[in-house]
């Protein structure tokens, strides 16, 4: 026998595709004898089915005319759509059978079927991501609700359970419910893809971007400004702080207006706001360097002294000596 079962199946599929516009019941009736008929024809002699019976499309046309089935009840504009859909379905069935052996199964469907619970879990997770994204406008790989991880965890568990439940239930649905289910699944995949792309982009840009190398730690979060006093209790201006590696230490932020009325930019020079010095403002803004003051003027030396009483509380010997 030169005609294979595969050839018969394909021929039947193509005939059915050509009759796709008919109501399913009528089409089934017209083609129900076809496989066994083709088997008889095949057993009868040599040669391909197409050579002996003509193309499946011609066969379908003859069948349709002889049965008086005419055109289907569906409007003509759906005709082409239904045909294209049927052809696509035929192609998918064909691929399903052809690619099955590659995966070690008869068909790809056989391979995929046991994996369905895994898909249900993934679907639940994706749904949780999309919900978190709709609520917060952003999402990570773990869903959060309003930045709250435990609420996000509840959401995730809920979505997983719902997805598993629906997975067990949805197997038997047909008609418009099935179409709704397919549309919803497609929409979920599309949305979750968009969300994941967003997550991925953020993960990419977050690495060290916008950070300078500083030794700021959370313990210093409450520090707004740094005031450095020299041995004589004089405020040092534009002091620069470094750690053992020579990395600038960035602390605090400018909290006052400079002479031009603008907030000064953060820089590694403290204090940002000398006027806010805790132990009294410097008498004269002209004393910048911590070096021997007398060179600048004599006035600064006495003015910082009022600041000295405070350091005494810290039991430091120097301020006491100045008194």
Select the span of 62-70, 130-138, 277-285, 312-320 touching other proteins (CB under 8 A). 62-70
Q: How far is CA 127 from the centre of its chain?
A: 12
CB of residue 71 vs other proteins: minimum separation in angstroms? Answer: 15
Q: What is the dihedral angle through the alpha carbons of 301, 302, 304, 307, rounded to the nearest 10 degrees? A: 150
Of the candidate residues 3, 12, 60, 236, the single one contacting other proteins (CB under 8 A): 60
Name the residue nearer to other proteins (CB basis): 29 or 106.
29
User: Interface with other proteins includes 67 (CB under 8 A)?
Assistant: yes
DSSP, residue by residue, 177-224: HHHHHHHHHHHHHHHHHHHHHHHHHHHHHTSSTT-------GGGTT--
Tokens of 102: 């590659």
- Applying CB under 8 A, among 65, 84, 88, 203 the residue interacting with other proteins is 65
Which stretch in 33-41, 169-177, 215-223, 313-321 sits in contact with other proteins by CB under 8 A?
Answer: 33-41
Residue whose CB is less far from other proteins, 44 or 275: 44
Angstrom CA distances, 157 to 153, 154, 187, 190, 295, stand at 6, 5, 21, 22, 73
Q: Taking Cα atoms as reference points, which of 209, 238, 214 lies closest to residue 225?
A: 238
Out of 7, 9, 37, 247, the residue judged to bind other proteins by CB under 8 A? 37
d(CA 249, CA 142): 34
Is residue 89 a contact residue for other proteins (CB under 8 A)? no
Stretch that binds other proteins, among 59-67, 78-86, 261-269, 314-322 (CB under 8 A): 59-67
Binding site for other proteins (CB under 8 A): 29-30, 32-37, 39-41, 53, 59-60, 62-69
């Amino acid at each position: 026998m030169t005609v294979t079962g595969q050839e018969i199946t394909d021929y039947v599929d193509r005939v059915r595709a050509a009759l796709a516009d008919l109501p399913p019941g009528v089409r089934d009736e017209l083609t129900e004898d076809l496989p066994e008929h083709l088997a008889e024809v095949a057993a009868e002699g040599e040669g391909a089915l197409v050579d002996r019976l003509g193309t499946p499309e011609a066969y379908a046309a003859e069948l349709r005319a002889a049965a008086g089935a005419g055109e289907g009840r569906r409007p003509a504009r759906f005709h082409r759509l239904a045909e294209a859909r049927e052809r696509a379905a035929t192609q998918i069935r064909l691929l399903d059978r052809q690619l099955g052996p590659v995966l070690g199964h008869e068909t790809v469907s056989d391979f995929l079927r046991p994996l369905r619970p895994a898909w249900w879990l993934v679907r639940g997770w994706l749904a949780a991501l999309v919900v978190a994204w709709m609520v917060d406008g952003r999402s990570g790989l773990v869903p959060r609700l309003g930045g709250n991880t435990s609420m996000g965890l509840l959401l995730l568990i809920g979505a997983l359970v719902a997805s598993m439940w629906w997975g067990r239930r949805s197997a038997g649905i047909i008609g418009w419910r099935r179409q709704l289910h397919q549309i919803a699944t497609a929409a979920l995949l599309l949305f979750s893809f968009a969300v994941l792309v967003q997550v991925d982009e953020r993960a990419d840009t977050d690495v060290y971007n916008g950070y300078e190398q500083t030794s700021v730690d959370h313990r210093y979060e409450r520090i707004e400004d740094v005031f450095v006093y020299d041995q004589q209790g004089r405020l040092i201006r534009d002091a620069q702080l470094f750690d053992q590696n020579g990395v600038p230490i960035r602390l605090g932020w400018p909290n006052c207006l400079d002479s031009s009325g603008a907030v000064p930019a953060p820089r590694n020079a403290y204090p940002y706001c000398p006027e806010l010095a805790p132990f009294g403002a410097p008498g004269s803004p002209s004393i910048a360097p911590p070096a021997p003051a007398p060179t600048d003027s004599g006035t600064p030396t006495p003015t910082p002294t009022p600041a000295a009483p405070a350091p005494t509380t810290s039991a430091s010997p120097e301020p006491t000596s100045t008194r």
